[in-house]
Each structure stands twice: as C-alpha cells, then as structure tokens.
C-alpha cells in the first residue's frame, strides 16, 4: 500500500468510525432552549469523540495495513487469473 492509498484508507476508516462513535453518551437535555432541536445532545463532547475515533481508526488501519502488507489478500493475483 502506497502512502496516498494509506492516507485515503485512513480517512475513510476515520469517517466510518466517527459515525459509529457519535451516538455514544448523547442524551437530550431535560429542558431544551428555544430554537434548539429536541433531539440535540446536552453535552456532545466532540473532542473526546474525535480522540476516540482517531484511536480506534489507527488500530483498524494497522490491521488493514497488516493484511495488505502480508499479501493475505491480493487483488493483483486475481487480475492475472482473469
């Protein structure tokens, strides 16, 4: 995996994991302010969610990189056999 494809895989992985992490701990306020959506979280804690997303993404990316680098899955072999 080249560095450009590695960055692309990391960015895609990060966004997918972010959408999985966003609902963690999201509870609506007891008394929402006027103009605020009833479903908006009282404390979104976005910095914590970004940090958790980055940590999980690094672990997932390392697993993906390990599989690609070890040639467990090779798309090049499939292209030769077609």
Domain ranges for the chain, please list them.
3-81
pLDDT of 82 reads 59
Cβ atoms of 53 and 22 within 8 Å: the answer is no
Which residues of the chain have a pLDDT value below 50? none
Does this model's pTM top 0.75? My answer is: yes
Q: Is 14 left (phi over 0), alpha (psi -120 to 50) or beta?
A: alpha
How many CB atoms neighbour CB 21 within 10 A? 17
């Amino acid at each position: 995996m080249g560095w450009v494809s590695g960055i692309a895989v990391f960015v895609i992985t990060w966004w997918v994991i972010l959408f999985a992490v966003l609902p963690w701990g999201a509870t609506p306020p007891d008394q929402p302010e006027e103009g605020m959506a009833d479903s908006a979280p009282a404390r979104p804690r976005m910095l914590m969610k970004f940090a958790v997303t980055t940590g999980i993404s690094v672990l997932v990316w390392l697993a993906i990189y390990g599989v690609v680098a070890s040639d467990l899955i090779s798309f090049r072999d499939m292209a030769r056999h077609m």
